[in-house]
Structure 1
Amino acid sequence: MHPIIPAITPARAYARLPLTSLAIALAVPSIAIAQPTGDSAEPAQEPATPAPSSAGTGARDDGEIFVTARRRAETVQDVPIAVSVVSGEHIDNTGAFNVGRLQQLTPTLQFYSSNPRNTAVNIRGIGVPFGLTNDGIEQGVGIYVDDVYNSRVASATFDFLDVDRIEVLRGPQGTLYGKNTTAGAINITTRQPTFDFEGRAEVSVGNLGFRQAKAAISGPLTEQLAARLAISSTHRDGTIRNVLTERDINEQDNLGLRGQLLWEPSDALSVTLAGDYSEQDPECCGTVFVRVGTTQRPLNRQYEALAAAQGYVTPGRNGYDRLTDLDASLNAGNKIGGASLRASLDTGIGKLASITAWRFWDWKPENDRDFTGLPITTLSQNPSQQDQWTQELRLSGESDTLDYVLGAFWFNQKVRTQGTQQQGPAASAWLLNPSSALSQDPSVLDGLTARNDIRLDNTSAALFGQVSWRPAPGVTLRPGVRLNYDKKDGSYTSVVTNGDGQLVTFASSDPRIVAQRGVLAPQQFTADYKDWNFSYDFTASYEPTRDLLFYATYARSFKSGGVNLNGVPSDSSGAPILAAATVAPESVDHFEAGVKAQFLDRKATLNLAAFRTDIANYQALVTNGSLGVLRGYLANADKVRTQGFEADFSFRPSHRFNAYINGAYTDAKYRRFTDAPCPPELSGGTPVAAGQTPSAPGTAGGISPANCDISGQRLPGVSKWSLSYGAEGNVPASFLGLDGAFFLGVDGSYRSRFSSNPSPSAYTWIDGYALTNLRGGFRADDGLELYGWVRNAFATDYYEQLQVPSGNTGLIVGNPGDPRTYGVTLKHVF
């Protein structure tokens, strides 16, 4: 652990009572500073604290909302990029306290997480491969917090802390951002230190033992030095009952701290030193039984027969009963933090910015990898430690006809992972062929242990820039370029020993050793990748009036190649096939056109975008028959395409009412993928031989294809239709002697059915669902707010993700979404 702020005792509610006390104390100060209300014929009738901004367009009552998507402050409607904006107030009021909740407000964002490490954040269906975590590849969606790049998606699972706004940029962003991002970027801006004293505090309680406290305070230390401190604590009981341990699992137990110092010795220079530390300590992350599908394994090697042979009965066959009996330890211990130094200097010819940052991530998981209450896999853990350093320099300037951004970026990352998997006394009967006598001997696999050592050293450097030229009134041409160098050095070592302490090797012909290495095979290899890449983009925009903007973009981008760090296929002698140890970079062609408009005296905002992205050498989980073995690993699919259109609309006729609706149609497909892994219904049988025809899907004891052609089928995790909407109205009133307004709000989301397996399977489609959230309360003019809320108000049953456990027994498990939750929040801004 490398926290720059002293660590706090891990999260349990009783240990966090001082934080709750602090938040309550801040919630009732005696001095409050009134917020500006904007122009009004009857200012006394307008709330001093306006309603939250609209999600998507960012429209608000008290003037324009400014973003820094293009590394300069400008209004959302002036940015020729498809960008969704969500303000901090909207995040707080809708309970969207992490990226997982953010996807309910931005329809083109997809978030999937079975645990913090196995987390995917995609935009328009692309970003990282679905269902596989591999430290040796890049993510296609960049996550930035106050200009600092976060290389691990695990950071997305933490609570938002003192956030001012979040910008979700869609499409390639490599000519504007330090790290190249082919699918988009999530740009999180926190509230900064101020030279005027201000603060905010919030306390929430709800069902399932939900307790959340957040507080921030900011103000001057001297005439040139200001500071800001923020803290957040969240606890919620688990949503799944483990009948074996009689405990609720999949809980939330989060703590976050951030401190910032701002030094402004002159109008030309500002320097900000920031540090943050966050931790999670939940008993997580378990799954529930969903269904069983027939595979092509022999019938006696499929789930129902294997469970009956050991007298095993799952505690519930309806996943929405939220019952499990996982017998291995569960843990999702997660710590992340770091420090940054950001400086901005006005040089006279432009503004020079420097961002120096260090980040760390410590991950200490434990899982039950057999997904049952049987002692098949009794230990599964892959603790990992990451350190990263980044340095970015940017020079930006503007004149009447020309704006520019020039940048240089350097990135260094070190990842070390130590994995352990151990089999238990039920493993032999479950994993070995029942016709073999070895399957009746528990000692064959009991105690079989694989110890893995995985290492990655990753270095990247880039020069990038973008110029905006205005050759005529209303016309702007924006070319951008990027030169990038990447170097990755990785190694993978897996040492396997059996219960007797013997090494399991490919040299042995002992039947017991042969059976053991069929379950856990030793392997050792090193791999390296390095390459230069050049990418570019061009955007043309036309603004005929101040409230209407047309734009079109073409981008030629790439995602860096990588190394396989989860093991690779082996040949008949057990040697790793090194041709599979590296993956080539993705090559991306992106087309986009859009229009941004405001009308009805800027009370209504409508933004439209249409896009198409073609990817060659798409990095995916595949089975390549030319390598002669059947094993899933990361390699390159030929072609992928995602295309569609998006619309963001908001209407704010007055301070008293606002509404928004955002929608997206996304058609994301494998255009050519001929050697994909087969879905479970076409796997597990006798490998097809020359002249044979594979059996029909779900034929027990059938003949399975070596691989499957899924060209034309949909990418996983992507709904064709997705929607978010919301509205809030208020009426002036007095309550408890305070002037203000009563308000009532609703927000909701919908997504159509989507596949939850890299190769679409009849067993892993998730039906479409809609979620509706309600809130209502009183918002005082002095910044005090009290309201009740209900999330998933109609108690919709849905799965966030389905999984196919290894072994292809036909078992399907899943992660059910949150049930109905409700509570009350007390907040004060002063």
Structure 2
Amino acid sequence: MVTAQRRSERLVDVPVSISVVPGAQLSQGGASIEAATKLVPGVVIARNGLAIQPTIRGIGTNVSGVGVDPNVAIYLDGVYQSSQAGNIFDLVNVDQVQILKGPQGTLFGRNATGGAILVTTKAPSFTPTAEFNLSYARYNEVTANAYGSTGIGDKVAVDLAVYYRHSDGWMRDLRTGQDVNEQRSYDVRSKILFEPTDKLKFTLGLSHSYTSDPTGFAFEALNGDSIGRPRPGSTPIAADRNELSQDTLPVIQIKANNIQLNGSYDLGFATLASITDYRTERDHFVADLDSSYAPVQYESYTPHYRDFSQEVTLTSPSHGKFTWVAGAYYFHEKAYISDFYLNGSSYIDSDVHTDAVAGFADGTYNIGRLALIGGIRFSSEQKQFAADRPSTGASVADKTRWNSWTPRAGLRFTLSPHANIYATYSKGFKSGAYNPTSLDTKPINPEKVDAYEIGFKSSTRLLSINLAAFYYNYNDIQVSAYDFSVGTQRLFNAARAKIYGAEADAAYHVTDALDVHAAFAYTHSEYSSFPGAPQFLPAPPGNVGNVSTSGGIDASGNAMIRAPKFTVSGTASYKIDLPKGSVTISATPYWSSRVYYTFDERLSQAPYFTMDARIAWAPTDRLTLSVFGRNLTDKTYATYITASQARDGVQFARPRTFGVALGFKY
């Protein structure tokens, strides 16, 4: 059951490409949303410095900063998560994750040009239930989480989820041997469910989380190409995935608080629902920008966020010839940077205020086995930008409003109660933005994408198959490049891109003991027009290690960044019944073709293969003991590569990891 059309429906009935991953499966892969990369075709979820930046079917972003939005929207319990840094969270008490592919501009609105990721946590239960999990893995990684829920009378239920993780990390300072990517996080979440009548329901949610994980800024200088290398005291330069050579050690700290109130009332002809959310976040970042021991360039800053959102929807019952949903949405964010220091000197203070409003309607009309699908959304968004530079006293202020209509239309034909085919058109819109690290008052334009898709879905007790083919026109792509002359990023719009491809995934219940899932994705993505694309090249011999820019090039015809042409993945699990309990053996292979990280195709990750596996013994229905391994091939591969005037930087994936886990349910 999925909620891609703002109602609970069977996956097979929804004319959208959707991949559903149970929370337990993601937790086995590392309790991070990034684990979905190995499980979902056509999706790459990677960390770019301080930000989680998913790429779906070639649409992703390398742009980050306060007031700068992603183009794959992440929703947590129905609430849009605006902060890209705030999306570095562990999956706590997660019921399931739905990954919706293609523009979701009609039903999920702003900043969903590539798709939407819907994370849903468990709801409180009136029946007492409890769960506890503990694991220990390589690099002294300890993870513990507990969940409990119970009813208080027949109208109130409450739950509590607690999570803690600590790891020494796998990277060491090349000179001192000190740990440099030690990770620590904790999360406390609670919900209170109140059902005064059969028709009326309220859920109050509270959460507090803290994450300290500097891995996103632990860049090495790829092939030693750093502007600091020719300078005294810069060496040695790290060359191994377990090493780091930075004179300023990285820091990424994120603290967030959230309060959410959901309500629904059954009016008979429709259900009226409301989601109200208030969130605060305070981050602190420190980054070495040249990846050498020379004190060439480093920065530190503290972003703050205060978000409020309100959504109201009216949804028809799921039965009948005509099913529909209509709603209104409001979002307000105050985001600002304080204490931005560049090379130890105060550099800039800036803030961006966002006010977004939208109204939408969507419906499906059934004529026998044929269904007509149509929807429309109007979005209006204003951003106010202000910045000042303490060193000079200069200050600027500006504001801009963007309006957009994002429709969808399509047909679905039911072949049988368990299979259908569909064809759809949809449009996506990503908001424009100001550069929060500069005094430039000219914003970048919004992104827009027109998407066409045809698909086939079939689901029976033994076999499920999903096939899809798509074609996108992608315009005004937002990109960034690092400008060493001023020490911060530069934002601009690339021109256009065309994307097309096909995906297939299937799950087969071979026997009562054996289940197999396989997925394949082909994505052809290229810039159809990209004059003036930034290019950074290593300096010529005689200035070894310095990275210089050659200015703009024409990248038209080049592959889009972070978009592998092919990905293949799968999962197989085999259950062996024992005289006492059972043993389940599972394996998750993953293969990716080459991934480009620069517009000129100079830097890339070659094709690579990884394998995760798990053996779990369940002596009773309540107790599970397991051993697991991730990246068992111990493949050294990049999760992110960046080029700038200061360096060619690379982040490597975690080396082979293995551990043991204990799980208990009541």
TM-score by length of 2: 0.94
Are the aligned partners of 1:492 and 1:526 in contact in 2 as well (CA < 8 Å)? Answer: yes
The more displaced of 259-268 and 778-787 is: 778-787
2:519 partner letter: N
The gaps in structure 2 that reach 5 residues or longer are none
Mapped contact 1:716–1:755 kept (Cα < 8 A): yes
Shift of 1:121: 1.8
Deviation at 1:311, TM superposition (A): 5.4
Larger CA Rg, structure 1 vs 2: 1
SS of 2:358's equivalent in the other structure is strand
Taking the aligned partners of 1:655 and 1:262, their CA distance within structure 2 comes to 37
Q: 1:635 to 1:77 in 2, by over 3 A?
A: same
Provide the rounded CA distance (Å) in 2 between the counterparts of 1:791 and 1:802.
22
Q: Which residue of 1 aligns with 2:280?
A: 360
Cα distance in structure 2, aligned partners of 1:310 and 1:97 = 42
| Counterpart contact for 1:650–1:658, Cα < 8 Å | yes
Is the counterpart of residue 719 in structure 1 residue 558 in structure 2? Answer: no
Per-residue CA shift, 1:572-611, capped at 9, x if unaligned?
xxxx5x5xx112222321101100123xx53111100111
Post-superposition Cα deviations, 1:468-507, rounded to whole Å, max 9, x if no partner, equal: 1002x221111000011100001222334xxxxxx6xxxx
Would you say 1:237 and 2:159 are equivalent positions?
Answer: no
The alignment status of 1:815 with 2:651, answered yes or no, reads yes
Counterpart code for 1:815: Q
Match of 2:37 in 1: 103
1:165-197 Cα offsets, whole Å, 9 max, x none, are: 110000111222254522111011111001111
Alignment partner of 2:289 out of 369, 380, 384: 369
1:458 matched to 2:378? The reply is no
**In 1, distance between residues paired with 2:139 and 2:550?**
47
Going from structure 1 to structure 2, the CA distance change for 1:153 and 1:780 (only over 3 Å counts) comes to: farther
1:315 CA displacement: 4.7
Q: How far apart in 2 are the matches of 1:343 and 1:181?
A: 25
Q: Return closer, same or farther for 1:655/1:270 CA change in 2, 3 Å cut-off.
A: farther
**Structure 1 residue 678: Cα displacement:** 2.0
- Compute the displacement of 1:806 (Å): 3.3
Q: Give the number of the structure whose residues are more often helix, by fraction.
A: 1
Structure 2 contact 559–601 (Cα < 8 Å) conserved: no
1:228 alignment counterpart: 159
Please report how far the alpha carbon of residue 335 of structure 1 lies from its aligned counterpart in structure 2 after TM superposition.
0.9
2:124 corresponds, among 193, 199, 202, to 193
Matches within 5 A, 1:387-786: 387-398=306-317, 399-423=319-343, 449-471=345-367, 473-496=368-391, 524-567=395-438, 578=441, 581-598=442-459, 602-621=461-480, 633-680=490-537, 706-734=551-579, 739-757=580-598, 759-762=599-602, 764-786=603-625
CA drift of 1:380 comes to: 1.5
| Residue pair 1:314, 1:324 contacting (<8 A) in 2 also | no
Indicate conservation of the 8 Å contact 2:81/2:87, yes or no. no
Question: Partner residue of 2:8?
Answer: 73
- Hey, what does 1:430 align to over in structure 2? none
Deviates more, 1:77-86 or 1:551-560: 551-560
Work out whether residues 104 and 426 of structure 2, in 8 Å CA contact, stay in contact via their aligned partners in 1: no
* Contact 2:563/2:596 (8 A) holds in 1: yes
C-alpha contact (below 8 Å) 1:332/1:365 kept by paired residues: yes
1:179–1:409 Cα contact (<8 Å) kept: no
Change (3 A) 1:793 1:609: same
Secondary structure in structure 2 of the residue aligned to 1:478:
strand
Indicate the SS of the match to 2:399: strand
Residue 103 of structure 1 aligns to a residue whose secondary structure is helix
**Which amino acid in the other structure matches residue 286 of structure 1?**
A
| Structure 1 equivalent of residue 299 of structure 2 | 380
Q: What is the Cα-based RMSD across aligned positions, in Å?
A: 2.6
The CA deviation at 1:540 is 0.7
Corresponding residue of 2:229: 307
Aligned counterparts of 1:146 and 1:619: Cα–Cα separation in 2: 28
Taking the aligned partners of 2:64 and 2:174, their CA distance within structure 1 comes to 30
Change (3 A) 1:761 1:523: farther
Paired letter, 2:604: W
Instruction: State which of 240, 249, 253 in structure 2 corresponds to 1:319.
Output: 240
Once the two structures are superposed, residues 613-664 of structure 1 have per-residue CA deviations (whole angstroms, 9 ceiling, x without a partner) of: 112222223799xxxx999622222211221111111111333111101111
Amino acid at match of 2:466: N
**Contact 1:288–1:815 (Cα < 8 Å) also in 2:** yes
Identity of aligned residues (%): 26
> Post-superposition shift, 1:566?
2.7
Q: Is the contact made by 2:172 and 2:178 (CA closer than 8 Å) also made in structure 1?
A: yes
Residue correspondence of structure 1 range 161-180 to structure 2 within 5 A: 161-177=92-108, 179=110
Q: Does the 8 Å contact 1:393/1:407 carry over to 2?
A: yes
Q: Could you tell me whether the CA contact under 8 Å between 2:618 and 2:624 is conserved in 1?
A: yes
The TM-score, its normalising length taken from structure 1, stands at 0.76
3-state SS of 1:153 partner: coil
Distance 1:230 1:816, change over 3 A: same
Contact 2:536 2:549 in 1 (8 A): no
CA distances 1:504-554 after superposition (whole Å, capped 9, x unpaired) = xxxxxxxxxxxxxxxxxx864223110222121102100121121101111
Q: Note the C-alpha offset of 1:402.
A: 0.5
SS where residue 25 of structure 2 aligns? helix
Contact 1:659–1:727 under 8 Å retained in 2: yes
Aligned positions of 1:76-87 closer than 5 A: 76-87=11-22
What is the CA-CA distance between 1:761 and the residue it aligns to? 4.2
Map of 2:190 onto structure 1: 259
Provide the rounded CA distance (Å) in 2 between the counterparts of 1:588 and 1:564. Answer: 22
Q: Secondary structure at the residue paired with 2:179?
A: strand
Query: Structure 2: which amino acid aligns with 1:785?
Result: T
- Name stretches of at least 5 consecutive residues in structure 1 with no aligned partner: 1-65, 294-301, 424-446, 497-502, 504-521, 569-575, 686-695
Cα distance in 2 for residues equivalent to 1:90 and 1:732: 21
Matches of 1:91 and 1:386 in 2, distance apart? 28
Moved over 4 A (4+): 629-632, 698-706
Change (3 A) 1:389 1:673: same
Quote how far apart the aligned CAs of 1:135 are: 2.8
Q: Which amino acid letter does the alignment assign opposite residue 592 of structure 2?
A: R
Aligned length: 661
Q: Which amino acid aligns with 1:97?
A: A
Whether the aligned pair in 2 keeps the contact of 1:523 and 1:567 (CA below 8 Å) is no
The superposition leaves residues 79-105 of structure 1 with CA deviations (integer Å, 9 ceiling, x where unpaired) of: 11100000122223x324111122121
- Counterpart amino acid of residue 657 in structure 2: T
Q: Is the 8 A contact 1:670 1:713 kept in 2?
A: yes
Q: Deviations over 1:186-227 (max 9, x none)?
A: 011111001111111101012210110111001101210000
Contact 2:209/2:257 (8 A) holds in 1: yes
**Structure 1 residues 163 and 655: CA distance shift in structure 2, 3 A:** farther
Residue 703 of structure 1, CA deviation = 11
Asked whether the 8 Å contact 1:178–1:409 carries over to 2, the reply is: no
1:152 Cα offset (Å) = 1.2
Contact 2:221 2:290 in 1 (8 A): no
